[in-house]
Every structure is written in C-alpha cells, then in structure tokens.
C-alpha cells in the first residue's frame, strides 16, 4: 500500500506544480479555483492510469519475462522527464491568465499523460488497480487543492521542487521493482 501512495504522490507533483501557478495567477476566487482544479486533476489522474492499466493488460503476456525491465524503464523515463523539466527556466507559463473549464481540461490532460504511462506499470505490481486509481485520484485532488492555496501565498517558488521530487520518487519506485524482481 505504501508503494501506491508513493506512486500517487509522485504522479500528483505535475498537477501540484500547475496548481501552484493557478493559485499565483488567481487571487480573486482562490477556494473555488482550488476545488475545481483539484477535481479536474484528481479525476484525470485517476482515469489515465486505469486506461494505461487496461492497455498494458492486453500486452503484458507478450513481455512477461521482461516486465520488470519495462516497468523500470517507463518509470525511469517519466522520472527523468520530470527532473529535467524541474531545471527549465520557464515558470508558470503553462497556467492560463483566464482559468476556464476548457483551460483546466487541457491542463488536466497534459498533467496526466505521465499517469497513463505509469498505469502500464500497475500490471507489474501486486496491487489492486481500482484501489490504486482511487488513491491516485484522491492524493492528486488533495495536492491540487492545496497547490492552489499555497500558490496564492508563495507564487511559483515551489513549482520546480515539486517536479524534481516527483521525478525522483518515480525513479525510486522503478528501481524497487527491478530490485524486488531480481531478489525474489
């Protein structure tokens, strides 16, 4: 169960980073923005890994001998991408000036693409996929909600750190999968 919470926390870091920016840009309707953004991010972060799981379920048998390597590579690549993004200079450019449902929809899709790929790895873990996606959605909702509130106070100061931490955790989970497979 701890592994699912780590995965959920790591996957929610993109949504948290964007939520910080949303909070920094919207000082008038912060609570409303926090709830709506958190709903968008939480729902998409739950749906995408579920889709990834079912896609992976169709092909997992073909790669059973190498499944641990596939999970490691996917998580490693996503983690490296997040860490690399944390060093880019642009900050809060992804957050729109006007926070509309259309903008939140596209932000939710953009921040959950990594969750789709990570959902493939749920096939290689000994976890209930349904419990996992609920935890991922709830953790992302909470992180998105508080991201907007914190963003109002701190601006985007924490944005890059959140992406770095999320990427690092994904790499650690990938290493753990690889280690456990070779250990047992």
DSSP 14-61: HHHHHHHHHHHH--SSHHHHHHHHHHHHHHHHHHHHHHHHHHHHHHGG
Q: What is the pLDDT of residue 132?
A: 92
Q: What is the pLDDT of residue 120?
A: 80
Residue 119: which residues within 8 A CB-CB, separation 6 or more?
Answer: 48, 49, 50, 51, 52, 53, 55, 56, 133
d(CA 62, CA 23): 45
pLDDT digits 0-9 by tens, 18-30: 888 888 777 677 8
| DSSP per-residue codes, 75-98 | HHHHHHHHHHHHT-S--S-SS-SS
Residue 117: which residues within 8 A CB-CB, separation 6 or more?
Answer: 52, 74, 77, 78
Closest C-alpha to 79, from 4, 157, 10, 6: 10
- Rg of the chain over Cα atoms, rounded to whole angstroms, equals 16
Residue with tokens 């920016």: 21
- In the chain, where the domains are located: 2-183
Q: Which residues, given as ranges, of the chain have pLDDT below 50?
A: none
């Amino acid at each position: 169960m701890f592994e699912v919470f780590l995965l959920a926390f790591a996957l929610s870091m993109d949504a948290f980073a964007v939520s910080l920016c949303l909070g920094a840009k919207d000082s008038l309707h912060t609570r409303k923005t926090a709830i709506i953004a958190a709903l968008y991010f939480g729902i998409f972060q739950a749906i995408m890994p579920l889709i990834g799981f079912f896609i992976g379920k169709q092909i997992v048998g073909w790669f059973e001998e190498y499944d641990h390597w596939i999970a490691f590579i996917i998580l490693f690549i996503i983690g490296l991408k997040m860490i690399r993004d944390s060093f880019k200079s642009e900050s809060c450019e992804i957050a729109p000036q006007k926070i509309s449902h259309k903008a939140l929809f596209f932000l939710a899709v953009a921040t959950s693409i990594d969750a789709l790929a990570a959902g493939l790895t749920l096939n290689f873990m000994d976890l209930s996929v349904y419990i996992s996606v609920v935890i991922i959605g709830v953790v992302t909702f909470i992180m998105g909600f508080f991201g907007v509130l914190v963003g109002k106070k701190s601006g985007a100061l924490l944005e890059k750190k959140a992406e770095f931490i999320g990427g690092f955790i994904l790499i650690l989970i990938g290493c753990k999968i690889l280690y456990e497979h070779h250990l047992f």
